[in-house]
Amino acid sequence: MSPPDAQPPAPVGPLATERAAYKLWFPEHVRYSDVDHNNHVNHAVFLTYFETARVSITRNPALGMLDPGENFNVVHLEVDYKAELRFPGDFEVGMRAIKYGRTSFRLGQAVFQGETCLCIEEVVLVFMDRATRKAKPISEKLLAWLKENGATAG
């Protein structure tokens, strides 16, 4: 038990709702088809925004994160909605590395319109062999990228 005057530990680095927490960015825009009868972007569409940004960034040959035959699949995700997004509008999806294990890793993503955070996501992905469809240890190349982008072991 903590003494009554003990303070909670200070957060390490920027919060997930702050732009400074993200190093990689993907520009996007709201499509008319993204909007539901409440005249805002439907909650499920945010998952498409996150996936499009994640795939566009991680499969970018210039970053060299994956070799042919390597893949990763989503096994868990958590989403928190912070504010509405409306049509028309431009926004950005930020991505950051959070943690890594032997065969899986966790990324954080957020949708920002200007400085306003509209939605955050954490996603766990398992590194896989494309041919066998089985989990395999994270490659040295991907591990280096994760560490370079702030991920810690865990």
- Residue 98 · residue 109 · CB < 8 Å: no
pTM greater than 0.85: yes
Please tell me the distance from the alpha carbon of residue 21 to that of residue 19, in angstroms, as a whole number. Answer: 5
For the beta carbon of residue 62, count every other beta carbon within 10 angstroms.
5
Whether the bond into 88 is cis, omega within 30 of 0: yes
Please report the pLDDT score of residue 65 as a whole number: 85
- Residues of the chain with pLDDT below 50 are none
In degrees and rounded to multiples of 5, residue 145 shows phi and psi of -65, -45
> How do residues 48-83 score in pLDDT, each as one tens digit?
999 999 999 988 888 888 888 899 999 999 999 999
Q: Is 12 left (phi over 0), alpha (psi -120 to 50) or beta?
A: beta
Please tell me the distance from the alpha carbon of residue 92 to that of residue 95, in angstroms, as a whole number. Answer: 10
Query: 């959070």: which residue's tokens?
Result: 98
For the beta carbon of residue 114, count every other beta carbon within 10 angstroms.
9
State whether CATH 3.10.129.10 applies to domain 19-153: yes
Whether the bond into 137 is cis, omega within 30 of 0: no
What residues have CB less than 8 Å from 42, skipping those under 6 apart? 34, 35, 36
Please report the pLDDT score of residue 10 as a whole number: 54
Query: 């958590």: which residue's tokens?
Result: 78
State the sign of the Cα–Cα–Cα–Cα dihedral 57, 76, 50, 113. negative
Q: Is 35 helix (H, G, I), strand (E, B) or coil?
A: strand
